[in-house]
Structure 1
């Protein structure tokens, strides 16, 4: 059978790094695509950087609309979170405890992986911009530090979504539609369309629009205490609150009710938006591109099930859960040439608004003041009268974030053995958040409130808080960055090239605002100035604080007297690449990456619990910068006359002062702060191979081998975090996938194809704190049954807690295991010229994957994938 140009194009849609070009009438070879990973346009096989790229046709044919789908084909990338718009990206195992989504905009680590839309960085702590992948040219994933060219948060890698731009060559339009049914869930449907139109010889526009309704499959079922439902436990409440109840084992707890919220398939998600692009050619040397994307992501319900309930699609929620995430992204690029220089100025403005409503009834299971919030206790209360009321609570957060970036970049174009890329960069982010915690039951206990807060803390109704809102965060976080960067490449010989890159940066981090009880701005200024009067004004003992600073327990050297956290440094990159043959490239690279420090809202304060591991403990004023040094050796090669492509990279990474987001229920309760857990090492191997097995069959595969290890633990986290030698979280030792596509010719010039893929993800550990046995015991008491989730024991005792189990022994230390899983997909389709019809089955064997074990509610919830989904896709393109 002769290979046609059409069938070659279909094969192109399979792979992650290549397209297929017909070399003769009987033979095809793998041909590379062009990428801009080094801020120059180059062949992917000629860039001495490990890159995975998936072009737009491949995204379409694989049914990929968001980055979560794409990760299935990237074994070295992990996508952790609690649902659409609430995820973080990790690459090559450089991960710690995931940020609390409920407080991500107030107190969270900066991402370790940068996410770009074209030239614009759009990363955000805990909530990466979830951009719908419509009308996309390609997606590039650059593992390993990319900080010299892409800046902060490119510590472990960079992900770039490259959109399609207006085309001046002619009119084009297209339409994609899909309809799908999920097992045990609702119908999903999507419509995408684009139109490209040259208006004049110099002006062209392109518009893409989409609406994708993703039906739910998680059921919010009636709470049934005693049958796996939420019963509540005064023992847990008393334990967390420091033993304040007189007789917790016999204190009744009012179980929350959710009758009005019972709903099947309540976790819907709807992506809706449009992108507008305008391209203007001034002359043969200069052109301008302006684009604007407007998108709204609406979700309801949760994307996790309660493992204590029967089945793997049921949950108990007691308040409505909603998330509206809307953004407008405007970018502009002016590109041209000055003599022997290519010049590019690019900038962008991102305006994002997130409105979140979350059930946080689970706070009662882990919050330090749980008894205060829900139980009738105190000096004048008899044990027989003690009771704990309905613990139902909700959290409402309104977040507005803006980001404004500018970059001016120069590339040399002279025909010489050296090439230079250099530029300046400016970035300003501002995140303004108002978070409201509703804690209604405290109104009923004015006597207890007076005891704890004093008469000035009591409202007109007698309770310590207003009737609607109990606690408020009002915080604005501003990050301003300046940078100079450059990279020099020099051809030592015709086949050997050396390159050197560097980036100087300065980051100013300003954290301002207040809570119901704390003036955050004044507190940070007090620790920045170490003024004794100011320290006293914020409730601190100046002598104790100064002693903690003198001993090195507290670091404040990067904090200005006005409360601004300022850091500056220079990072470097060195590499050699050798073109061993025309088809084989070998390279060696050393690169540095970093994440900036994070100011803590309650920094400098003493822990409430001053026993065990917390004796003498103070919350860090800020987590210090963590750095990653990476060494790697790589191979890129085409073999057997272009029929086999093998790309492989072996790497070793050292992380210093690894940042983590953490809380402990006996200490800081629900409030998250950031800390440096210690040092870590990562060893790994990434490889992908593509084989044109026959004229009709192409097979591609990718694997990731990882060995992660904590090599040093911060002394203040010993007994809380895992010990030396422990694995980093969310990192599977082995992951891989294989994909095969077979095509065949049909009558009337139609072409049929069958595509099958299988992806395997190995076991991973959840989080950085060894609290799984504590949470498991609480789950047993609260629900009358355990979660059934596997726990890896990592310490004989969990030294960070002072409470004991029923036998009087301290709890063991361990982390939940996110079990391995296999996902298989199948698709069959027919194409002819400009249309395609496809039947697909995602998750063929209906695997219930453990994507994330969420412990933010102090009992485990399992974030899972969509069950088996069968659907139809149809697309039409007119040129």
Structure 2
């Protein structure tokens, strides 16, 4: 699976806080390990002296390590995991703080805010469901800050922050360089990349820097011919009728004729290709001796085709059946500016940025009719006489056009670092707007019902009223604009209690306005929220009708529905203050211990059909209504850490133990059987997380550097909402997507060849433990659907966590119930090896990634009711060459 170098940088940074080049090792020998300066506290400090958990790695070290793609370095993820389905469609997870994210097809409409913030230099660029996928070229360093960082970095820094720091223009004269690679993947196509940069001083005061890149990653997943009865996709419309008594129930589902989808025209080997192309331009202007202006612009295009997961129901680990052409085009332009200088005794920084992003996607949605309450309704002539009932072609698609913009401003001041007391204080403003139109072809428009129904959709009013053929394939539309405005004031105070003990306290006050406008097909979301915000009998009755308004008022009065955060314009406003406190003790010159308490949060999420009554009104769902919005979920964290540089700076060892509590855990929910055929978000309970992170770097000899990292994480649900009993994992279960234990080792051996030339050998091995997938115990239901559709099971591991699903929730028409369990992404071991020659100017390298050709299970996607396995790239052998001009 091909990901950007950003992912590689982020994940490798977790594993090791530094590494040395060949020249540094051979010249410095065992003298010292490189010390990296970071800005994790918004002032420059040595990574070993900043009293927070932070890992970082320089751009030069990333290049020396041969970072090439995500799956090759997924082994360097001790405290980090991810969920996603391909480039531009992933969420980073830190320290196990994870729940279900929304299906990518509605992530722009209904997704949770990310729990890990991502920054490009000073600009936050996170986005729900689709974090900005920046190609990391010409990088100065990557900083990774596990644990809540909300006081300095704000919303969505709930469980951590990742900062990609780029190289800036320098005033030292001319420099340039390039890096190129070519590689071959077992069973796949060739890949190649080229990167280049140059830096030039145009005058004593002005310098420019330009970096450009183009990366093509060949595919290895095959879209094979669908052959029903021989392990291929048979059909889907009978599945829901076997599981529940939904709309459009068939008289004889076992014998109802089904049209099998065809994909003859889309059969292709290695069809999952990825292309990154872009450039970054920077200009530095020295205004005077104390003030400097930096302006940068980054432009990037990310284009993918195909999918990045195989279907375990088919033969092999590189095959899938797709019935629609799929692509994802993701373009962005980011302009940033930073003015910094000194005013009296204060260091002043004003920084801002403007992000413009456009996403156009087409997704095969055939699998949507594999399950759910309305599957037969969408496809079958269930209203006909029993002998005339049939199910039509299930081939479906989803198309998305999303435009997002974000502008931020931050003004902050720092007192002198030489003072016994130090203050960082600032004000932050952020305005995000996301407009999206998602068009779903999910209902077969040959059915007379949908010929008539679709006349009501916008633009279709002119369709012939005699029930003639429907003129459009689109049967469902999301058309919304989501605006999030935030203002915050933050500060941090540090005081040296003694020469060796320092205490600090930080706080952030924030206010967030969430404005959600638009419609979901014929549902007026804007009017719905205004009615809830007004809250009067008249407003609710006008929108919902008298009977429904009375029921809603009763739900609000009982506390089942929360609406107090909405005003009468439907704007959701939340404000709060979070804090962080720490104390550190420099035991010796080379050893520091610290303790801290910190808070993080994710803001509320508005639901499209909030207040709607659950489809099922039995058992735990009696009286249940969809939340109008999910409220803020918060994470409180306590940690104790040690940072040490030992044996004359030849061994660095850092470790942190932490305990976190998550309150009002937000998650995405899709329960068409019991509640609604639309995805919504909810606060589902509480959780606890305990863990230990550790990493080391050891200059073992004059020529050998050994480093490694490990993470042990214990997550536990401590409470679950009543209506989720038997659906969500029970109290005491693990949170998804994170292994209990992960660890890695890498060794870099350098040796002199002749003159200034050095040779080197790099090797690494890593272990990632079992991970559970999702927050719903639906694996056995999905597995049953796989048997019905493909005639075979997936063969994936399942951890059963409950004897049966209860009541109507997962009981089929024959009275059969299903065990409650989740799929398990099994543990794996990966190994990499590289050989090279380098001097001060150039480097040539042969590399073998995934040496043993391990097919690791990185993620299991069940968004379309049958499991798809997101996997790593097979064994890849390649050559890499770089040259720098000075």
Residues 160-169 or 738-747, more deviating? 738-747
Candidates 506, 515, 519, aligned match of 2:511: 506
Shift in Å at residue 669 of structure 1?
A: 5.5
- Other-structure match for 2:475: 470
For 2:164, the equivalent position in structure 1 comes to: 161
Find the aligned partners of 1:125 and 1:74 in 2 and give their Cα distance: 22
Structure 1 residue 70: Cα displacement: 5.7
Task: Report the alpha carbon displacement of residue 69 of structure 1 after superposing the two structures with TM.
Answer: 6.0
Matched, 1:46 2:49: yes
**Counterpart residue number, 1:150:** 153
Matched, 1:782 2:772: no
Q: In the alignment, what sits opposite 1:278?
A: 283
Asked if 1:386 is matched to 2:389, the reply is yes
In structure 1, stretches of 5+ residues that fail to align are 1-11
| TM-aligned CA deviation for residue 463 of structure 1 | 7.2
Instruction: Tell me the equivalent position of 1:676.
Output: 683
Q: Identify which range, 459-468 or 488-497, moves more after superposition.
A: 459-468
Question: Where does residue 841 of structure 1 map in the other structure?
Answer: 848
Aligned to 1:646: 653
Find the counterpart in structure 2 of residue 7 from structure 1: none
Does residue 627 of the first structure (1) align with residue 628 of the second (2)? Answer: no
RMSD: 2.2
Map 1:793-872 onto structure 2 (within 5 A).
Answer: 793-799=800-806, 801-805=808-812, 808-872=815-879
The 3-state SS of whatever aligns with 2:67 is coil
Tell me, in whole angstroms, the C-alpha distance in 1 between the residues paired with 2:332 and 2:471. 32
For the pair 1:327 / 2:326, whether they are aligned, the reply is: no
**Correspondence 1:664-743 to 2 at 5 A:** 664-668=671-675, 670-743=677-750
Per-residue Cα deviation, 1:36-70 (whole angstroms, up to 9, x for no partner): 00000000000011111111012212333567766
1:138 Cα offset (Å): 0.6
> What's the secondary structure of 1:442's corresponding residue?
coil
Question: Contact conserved, 1:142 with 1:159, CA < 8 A, in 2?
Answer: yes
| Preserved CA contact (<8 Å) 1:306 1:861 | yes
**8 Å CA contact retained: 2:443, 2:450:** no
Q: Is the counterpart of residue 213 in structure 1 residue 190 in structure 2?
A: no
- Tell me if structure 1 keeps the 8 A contact 2:805–2:811: no
Change in 2 beyond 3 A, CA 1:470/1:498: same
Deviation larger for 458-467 or 565-574: 458-467
- Structure with the bigger RCO (C-alpha within 8 Å, sep 6+) is 2
Please state how far the C-alpha of 1:613 moved relative to its aligned partner.
3.6
Q: Which residue, out of 105, 111, 116, partners 2:119?
A: 116
Q: CA deviation at 1:457?
A: 9.6
Change (3 A) 1:713 1:137: same
Q: CA deviation at 1:447?
A: 8.8
Cα deviation for residue 533 of structure 1 reads 3.9
3-state secondary structure, aligned to 2:110: coil
Give 1:366 deviation, angstroms.
Answer: 2.1
Alignment of 1:507-522 (within 5 A): 507-522=512-527
- 2:249 is matched with which residue? 244
Q: Residues of 2 paired with 1:659 and 1:724: CA distance?
A: 16
Give 2:422's match in structure 1, choosing from 411, 419, 424.
Answer: 419
Structure 1 613/459 Cα, relative in aligned 2: closer, same or farther at 3 Å? Answer: farther
Q: Is it true that 1:337 corresponds to 2:337 in the alignment?
A: no
Tell me whether 369-378 or 401-410 shows the greater mean CA deviation.
369-378
Correspondence for 1:84? 87
Mapped partners of 1:442, 1:190: distance in 2: 45
Instruction: Give the corresponding residue for 2:298.
Output: 293
Determine if contact 1:14/1:741 at 8 Å carries over to the other structure: no
- Aligned mate of 2:312, from 297, 307, 315: 307
Aligned counterparts of 1:458 and 1:663: Cα–Cα separation in 2:
34
Are the equivalent residues in 1 in contact too, given 2:846–2:880 (CA < 8 A)?
A: yes
Matched, 1:563 2:563: no
* Conserved 8 A contact 2:674-2:809: no
Cα deviation digits, residues 64-122 of structure 1 (max 9, x gap): 35677665423101122000000001000000012211110000100000000000000
Which 4+ runs in 1 deviate beyond 4 A? 12-15, 18-26, 65-71, 447-454, 456-459, 463-466
Q: Which residue of the partner structure matches residue 5 of structure 2?
A: none
Given the superposition, is the C-alpha separation of residues 72 and 188 from structure 1 closer, same or farther in structure 2, using an over 3 Å criterion?
same
Cα distance in 2 for residues equivalent to 1:388 and 1:119? 54
> Are 2:401 and 1:398 equivalent residues in the alignment?
yes
Question: Take 2:379 and 2:645, find their aligned partners in 1: how far apart are those partners?
Answer: 66
Q: Name the SS for the 1:73 alignment partner.
A: coil
Which residue number in structure 1 is paired with residue 6 of structure 2? none
**SS of residue matched to 1:105:** helix
Residue 17 (1) aligns with residue 22 (2): no
Secondary structure of the 2:575 match is: strand
- Cα deviation for residue 534 of structure 1 reads 3.6
SS at match of 1:523: helix
2:191 is equivalent to residue 188 of structure 1: yes
Provide the secondary structure at the position in 2 that maps to 1:852. strand
CA distance in 2, matches of 1:464, 1:673: 33
C-alpha displacement at 1:753, in angstroms? 0.2
Does structure 1 retain, via aligned residues, the 8 Å contact 2:177–2:884? Answer: yes
390-399 or 610-619: bigger deviation: 610-619
Q: Identify the residue that residue 609 of structure 1 maps to in structure 2.
A: 616
Q: TM-score, normalised by structure 1?
A: 0.95
Is 1:587–2:594 an aligned residue pair?
Answer: yes
Measured after TM superposition, the shift of residue 459 of structure 1 is: 4.7
Indicate how the Cα distance of structure 1 residues 19 and 233 shifts in structure 2: closer, same or farther if over 3 A, else same. Answer: closer
CA contact (8 A) 2:451 2:467 kept: no
User: How far apart, CA to CA, are the structure 2 residues paired with 1:349 and 1:243?
Assistant: 49
Tell whether 2:124 aligns with 1:137. no
Closer/same/farther in 2, CA of residues 712 and 503 from structure 1, 3 Å limit: same
Distance of aligned partners of 1:806 and 1:26 in 2 relative to their CA distance in 1, 3 Å threshold: same
Contact 2:32–2:650, Cα closer than 8 Å, also in 1: yes
Q: Is contact 1:554–1:620 with CA below 8 Å preserved after alignment?
A: yes
Q: CA-to-partner distance for each residue in 1:354-383, whole Å, 9 max, x for gaps?
A: 0000000111112432222110011xx211
Is it true that 1:60 corresponds to 2:60 in the alignment?
no
Q: Report the more deviating stretch, 703-712 or 59-68.
A: 59-68
Q: Distance in 1 between matches of 2:648 and 2:63?
A: 29
CA distance in 2, matches of 1:44, 1:185: 41
Compared CA separation, residues 25 and 259, structure 1 to 2 (3 A): closer
Distance change (3 Å), C-alpha of 1:603 and 1:302: same
Which of residues 354, 359, 380 in structure 1 aligns to 2:364?
359
Output the CA distance in 2 between the equivalents of 1:255 and 1:673.
Answer: 31
What secondary structure, in the 3-state scheme, does the structure 2 residue paired with 1:580 have? strand
Q: Residues 440 and 572 of structure 1: is their aligned pair in 2 closer, same or farther, counting only changes over 3 Å? A: closer
TM-score (norm 2): 0.95
Structure 1's 139 and 803: CA in aligned 2 closer, same or farther, altered over 3 A?
A: closer
Contact 1:679-1:713 at 8 Å conserved across structures: yes
Number of residue pairs aligned between Structure 1 and Structure 2: 865
Alignment-derived partner of residue 491 in structure 1: 496
Q: Can you list the C-alpha shifts for 1:542-594, whole angstroms capped at 9, x where unaligned?
A: 11001101111111111111111100000000000000000001000000000
More deviation, 711-720/202-211 = 711-720
State the 1:809 CA deviation. 2.6
Distance 2:863 2:604 in 1: 23
Deviation by residue 1:491-510 (Cα, 9 ceiling, x = unmatched): 00000000000000000001
**2:309 and 2:424 mapped to 1: Cα distance?**
46
